Structure 1
Amino acid sequence: MSLLEGKRVLILGLANDKSIAWGIANVMKEQGARLAFSFLNEALAKRVNPLSDEIGGEFTFELDVCNEEHLENMKNIVKEKWGQVDVIVHSLAFSDKEDLKKRFSETSRDGFKLAHDISAYSLISTCNVLKEVMAPDCSVMALTYHGSVKVLSGYNVMGVAKASLESSMRYLADDLGPEGIRVNCISAGPIRTLAASGVPGLKGFLKDVEEKAPLRRNVTQEDVGGVACFLASKLANGVTGQVIYVDSGISILGA
């Protein structure tokens, strides 16, 4: 039997076929998972719906995590289509590009709020609204980045938002653990995605990993997908509240 045979997986934040979420979806599908995807708006639906059709997704739905009605609708759709959800993949992050170009001390108040609302609070709100439809052994995972714990030039407010995401993950793991729900983060190395393209210095980050990381290569979507499958499966039943690095080992190195 495949690792995720029959598991109902909700993937939030797929943007296109370069997304880490797409790599996760492909590996999970290979392991027998049933998939559903969110899209932010009608413009992104034109990208997400064909990908869902291509991979055999069971349904898609609109989700703006700043919209309470959308969150409630997500729960209702899951209840109607599946009854329960076994795995939730949180691949949602956003910041104003202008706040990535400025000095960090010049981060705007609105930009700070926006980055935290979409990139961190959305994990809390998603878990809260989906609690009643989570399977007893539900696995929740969120994508993060090493800029949460180390200063990476140009990552700015996103680094602070990712730190908030990771802390939120730990508190959610403690809160939901008694119900058998596990919550973890995957910290992927730099990958050329739509979201990463807005980060100044991405080429330099990729070059550093290739030249300095212990494995001397950049990670792939599939590398991240493999770890996501592990976290989604019974093999990780004792793992919660953790940040798992998939970065060719670059995070272990000193300055």
Structure 2
Amino acid sequence: MIDSDYFNLEGKRGLVIGVANMDSIAYGCARAFRTLGADLAITYLNEKARPFVEPAARAVGAELFLPCDVMVPGELEAVFAAIGERWGRLDFVLHSIAFAPRADLQGRLVDSSAEGFGLAVNISVHSFLRVAHLAEPLMPQGGSLFAMTFYGADKVLSTYNLMGPVKAALESAVRYTAAELGPQGIRAYAISPGPMLTRAATGLKDFDELRDAAEERAPLGRLAEIDDVGAVVAMLATRTGTMLTGQIIYVDGGYHITG
């Protein structure tokens, strides 16, 4: 029997990593989580980023607002320690961070440096696995883990370059995480919006052309906005998503089926 519990997050607690500002996908997700009743912890990259993230954290009434640079030893661990002390448990985590050095990102993949490739994988992929490792003991009754991917993981896009194989690795990491943590009731998803005008997208070469072409191809005639993505992610975090795990969930107006 389906009841209202399938569509709310009342009493649930979640962590959102990767809010850059109030235009970011992570903020759209945070807003949707909060709309369905969840209590939230929000992170910011560093003191330079804090003024851009703090208004978003206030807007969703974040109970915890913590620094988190996954490349600073101990910071990610400190976030989970603070959550454990404050709440004692966790119901969902959104991982929405990725990085590649501009020179490697905008050049040919075959010309990428080992250092740049390794850094991109460390920040964009391995940090998700670290999140899963740290979240597991705080999810004794199950939970949900979300990562952000992109169509360029599956198809070659001339503008995506280095991040194509990096996001492909992330999608594989999500599948393996879903398999390994499934017995504990922990689900994992890779969310794949179409091209969206976020701060991260500005680092991609010829992004405007990519977005315009995708919008023309999308069967629904438009691409997703941050609240479209947030609505889907929040739904998956509820009981509605109980029997879904390990999938790539496309939220792109159908763009991915036209390639």
What band does the TM-score fall into relative to the shorter chain?
over 0.9
Within 5 Å, give how 1:179-198 maps onto structure 2: 179-198=184-203
Which residue of the partner structure matches residue 31 of structure 1? 36
Within 5 Å, give how 1:78-93 maps onto structure 2: 78-93=83-98
Task: Indicate yes or no: 2:158 matched with 1:153.
Answer: yes
Task: Indicate yes or no: 2:148 matched with 1:143.
Answer: yes
Are the equivalent residues in 1 in contact too, given 2:32–2:230 (CA < 8 A)? yes
**Partner amino acid for 2:256?**
S
- Tell me the distance in 1 between the aligned counterparts of 2:68 and 2:130: 12
Task: Indicate yes or no: 2:181 matched with 1:170.
Answer: no
Secondary structure in structure 1 of the residue aligned to 2:65: strand
Which residue of the partner structure matches residue 69 of structure 1? 74
- Tell me the distance in 1 between the aligned counterparts of 2:162 and 2:86: 37
Task: Indicate yes or no: 2:230 matched with 1:225.
Answer: yes
Which residue of the partner structure matches residue 54 of structure 1? 59
- Tell me the distance in 2 between the aligned counterparts of 1:44 and 1:6: 29
Which residue of the partner structure matches residue 94 of structure 1? 99
Which residue of the partner structure matches residue 128 of structure 1? 133
Are the equivalent residues in 1 in contact too, given 2:215–2:221 (CA < 8 A)? yes
**Partner amino acid for 2:137?**
E
Are the equivalent residues in 1 in contact too, given 2:108–2:162 (CA < 8 A)? no
Secondary structure in structure 2 of the residue aligned to 1:85: coil
- Tell me the distance in 2 between the aligned counterparts of 1:134 and 1:97: 37
Secondary structure in structure 2 of the residue aligned to 1:57: coil
- Tell me the distance in 1 between the aligned counterparts of 2:47 and 2:33: 26
Structure 1 length-normalised TM: 0.96
Task: Indicate yes or no: 2:60 matched with 1:40.
Answer: no
Given candidates 8, 14, 38, the residue that maps to 1:9 is 14
Shift of 1:118: 0.5
Are the equivalent residues in 2 in contact too, given 1:209–1:248 (CA < 8 A)? no
Given candidates 221, 240, 248, the residue that maps to 1:243 is 248
Secondary structure in structure 2 of the residue aligned to 1:184: strand
Secondary structure in structure 2 of the residue aligned to 1:42: coil
**Partner amino acid for 1:99?**
D
Moved more, 130-139 or 214-223: 130-139
Shift of 1:116: 0.3
Shift of 1:135: 4.4
Q: Deviations over 1:154-195 (max 9, x none)?
A: 211111110010000011111101111001111011110010
Secondary structure in structure 2 of the residue aligned to 1:186: strand
Shift of 1:67: 3.1
Q: Deviations over 1:15-60 (max 9, x none)?
A: 0111000111111211111111111111111221222112211111
Given candidates 228, 239, 245, the residue that maps to 1:234 is 239
Secondary structure in structure 1 of the residue aligned to 2:141: strand
Structure 2 length-normalised TM: 0.95
Gapped regions of structure 1 (runs ≥ 5): none
Are the equivalent residues in 1 in contact too, given 2:159–2:210 (CA < 8 A)? no
Number of equivalent positions? 254
- Tell me the distance in 1 between the aligned counterparts of 2:171 and 2:77: 24
Task: Indicate yes or no: 2:221 matched with 1:216.
Answer: yes
